[in-house]
Chain A
Amino acid sequence: MSDQSPIAVLPEIDALKRAVAGKSYWRRVGEQLLRDRLTLSVMLLLSVIIIMVLAAPLFATHDPTVGSVLKRLKSPGYPGHWLGTDEVGRDLWSRILYAGRYSLLCGVLPVLLALLIGGVLGLSAGYFGGTTNSIIMRSMDVLYAFPSILLAVAICGMLGSGIGNTILALTITFIPPLVRISETVTTQVRAFEFVEAARASGARPLSIMHFHILNNVLGPILVYATSLISISIILAAGLSFLGLGVTPPDTEWGLMLNNLRQAIWVNPLVAALPGAMIFITSMCFNLMSDGLRGAMDVRM
């Protein structure tokens, strides 16, 4: 689906510069972001999309489930339905809003879950090394042997469709890359002398991980996770597009695209609209990830 090649990350641990500047790392990241107009506008657009979708009942003009046989596949600008209607005459704008709820849920939640599970696994693998590392990383190699779409489709295909299975399948798909990146950065940070010093002064593994490692690895891992959200949104909609994800009467951008596929011969513009939403949202997450990477000074 996208680049999942191993990435070497060198986190910025420039304690001196920070001390001179007199500001914390996250404060500097915030200031960097405020100066980055592209990233700011992308984040603004994303917030608008998220708010509109969450508050769908407020912004929707029609009931998303009620259609009219007389008003099928109308183009944008049709009186009463400014974005047109779908294949059974339901208001496209309202449906896109309601569908966005599931698209965002299936796009964001799996990455968060995978971040939690993969982060813990990768941190332990990188910190403890040795056998722990081998067991965790070799089992991830097995999951890496599946192209991401194939793994997601296989799990959903075997378990059956539904939101729960989609989220489960995508979570499993995104665990290996997150484990790998957390392991790489943790191994790098572990080699620094302040970790050795903490250990020598008698700190326990958990507190070393918490105070010395987590802060230094969080940046790169978060940047990587945001870029995974864009892939996750495309994949989640893709699963629904195949009929493996969200099932009617609930709807989702990918599922709308699937339902409108045949309509492409009648009204190509209307059929293409839900896909544009997938594209815009995914693009926003990608651009935001790029902006965060720049602000956090993560080199990948």
Chain B
Amino acid sequence: MWFFLVRRVLYAIPILLGVSLVVFLMMKMVPGDAADIMIPPEAPKEVAEMIRARFGLDQPVHIQYVRWLQSMATGNFGTSIFTNQPVGSELFSALTNTFLIATPAVFVGFTCGVLLGTLAAFNSGTWLDKLFSSMAIAGVSLPHYWVGMVLVAIFAVVLNVLPGQGMGPEGFPGSWEQIKHLVLPVVTLSLIPMGVISRLVRANVLEILSMEFVTALAAKGLRRRNVLLHIMKNAAPSALALMGLQFGYLLGGSILVETVFNWPGSGSLLNLAIFRRDIPVLSATILVLATIFVAINILVDVLQTLIDPRIRR
């Protein structure tokens, strides 16, 4: 088992190298480089050359890549060409804000998803199953940015009970005002994990229900509640794994929901960087988000190996 775990963690190194290469190539594909954006077209040629040299843009591409990778790996994300602020600190506070909505969202989504999926599976074929299954399929098919807008329309415009924009007062959320700002984004983000997880749980529970050990347990005279426990134990690993993956998707994919709610997270940072053509911020944000996603995937695999002995090789 330890061999499997070590191998899984070590496999992240080539993946991350590949990811950095992809991000770097995307950076190079941008029409014009960072210097073109900073330097006004009427600037003298010497000044342009000087700025290029300062950022190492006069070097061959492979040396640029190695240098860029070196600074990224050591946590030096460079400075924004728009605000002149270090990218690292901006990125850190944005990521914290994204975590603030993604974490509760994935828990809400997981709880609702498991509940809906299990209930649907146990009542398979009845109207309850149909209702819950259609809720799940709606959760997967809903454009969540639109749901965000609709929720704002209902709760902020018509009913005027919840704030629809921003994250309220600064600081760690503890006050009522700050929690109120969390509600709508969290509900919006939790829809996709809810749909995906409940569909998986329903299918899994149905499959387990048809297995012989369940019949054996019931025949043995075990109470319904205890049989349920056995079933949940078997359905848990894959649902937990999916929850981990969904958390990764929410962190990396919150850009749409953050735009709707003007939530100052990593997605908003990304959006801003794109429109300012702020390449250092853009590449660092993409790289960090992808790295976090890889790390979450590894964590999920490791946890799954620990929980479910069948996966160990």
Which residues on A are within 8 Å of B, measured CB to CB? 1-5, 138-139, 141-143, 145-150, 153-155, 157-160, 230, 234, 237-238, 241-244, 254, 257, 261, 264-265, 268-269, 271-272, 275-276, 278-279, 282-283, 285-287, 290
Chain A minimum-CB-distance residue to B137: A286
Q: Is the CB of B137 within 8 A of A287?
A: yes
Q: Which of B22, B150, B251, B274 meets A147, CB within 8 Å?
A: B251
A-B contact count (CB 8 A): 149
CB proximity of B267 to chain A, nearest CB, Å: 8
Tell me the dominant secondary structure on chain B's binding face. Answer: helix
Most buried by A among B19, B21, B29: B19
22 of the cross-chain contacts (CB-CB < 8 Å) are: A1-B249, A5-B241, A138-B18, A146-B22, A146-B286, A149-B252, A154-B282, A158-B29, A158-B282, A159-B29, A160-B31, A238-B145, A241-B145, A254-B143, A268-B154, A268-B158, A275-B149, A279-B143, A279-B146, A282-B142, A282-B143, A283-B141
Q: Is the CB of B253 within 8 A of A1?
A: yes
Residues of B within 8 A of A1 (CB): 192, 249, 253
Q: Is the CB of A147 within 8 A of B252?
A: yes
CA distance A239 to B274 in the complex (A): 12
Q: Is the CB of B18 within 8 A of A242?
A: no
Residues of chain B from 168 to 204 with CB closer than 8 A to chain A in the complex: 192, 196, 199-200
Residues of B within 8 A of A157 (CB): 270, 273-274, 282
CA distance A152 to B21 in the complex (A): 17
* B2 in contact (CB, < 8 A): no
* B290 in contact (CB, < 8 A): yes
Given A148-B249, A241-B259, check contact A283 B137 (CB 8 Å).
yes
Residues of A within 8 A of B142 (CB): 234, 279, 282
Chain A minimum-CB-distance residue to B17: A142
Q: Is the CB of A141 within 8 A of B196?
A: no
Tell me the dominant secondary structure on chain A's binding face. Answer: helix
* B127 in contact (CB, < 8 A): no
Given A265-B157, A286-B141, check contact A242 B15 (CB 8 Å).
no
Q: Is the CB of A145 within 8 A of B15?
A: yes
Q: Is the CB of B27 within 8 A of A238?
A: no
Q: Is the CB of B141 within 8 A of A230?
A: yes
CB proximity of A283 to chain B, nearest CB, Å: 4
CB proximity of A108 to chain B, nearest CB, Å: 15
* B140 in contact (CB, < 8 A): yes
Residues of A within 8 A of B21 (CB): 142
CB proximity of B213 to chain A, nearest CB, Å: 20
Residues of chain B from 249 to 293 with CB closer than 8 A to chain A in the complex: 249, 251-253, 255-256, 259-260, 270-271, 273-275, 282, 286, 289-290, 293
Most buried by B among A150, A155, A243, A282: A150
Residues of A within 8 A of B149 (CB): 257, 261, 264, 271-272, 275
Residues of A within 8 A of B200 (CB): 3
CB proximity of A261 to chain B, nearest CB, Å: 7
Most buried by B among A154, A241, A272, A287: A154
Q: Which of A147, A159, A160, A275 meets B249, CB within 8 Å?
A: A147
Q: Rank and list the top 3 A-B pairs by shortest CB-CB distance, nearest first.
A: A275-B146, A147-B252, A142-B18
Most buried by A among B16, B27, B142: B142
CA distance A255 to B198 in the complex (A): 31
CB proximity of A61 to chain B, nearest CB, Å: 24
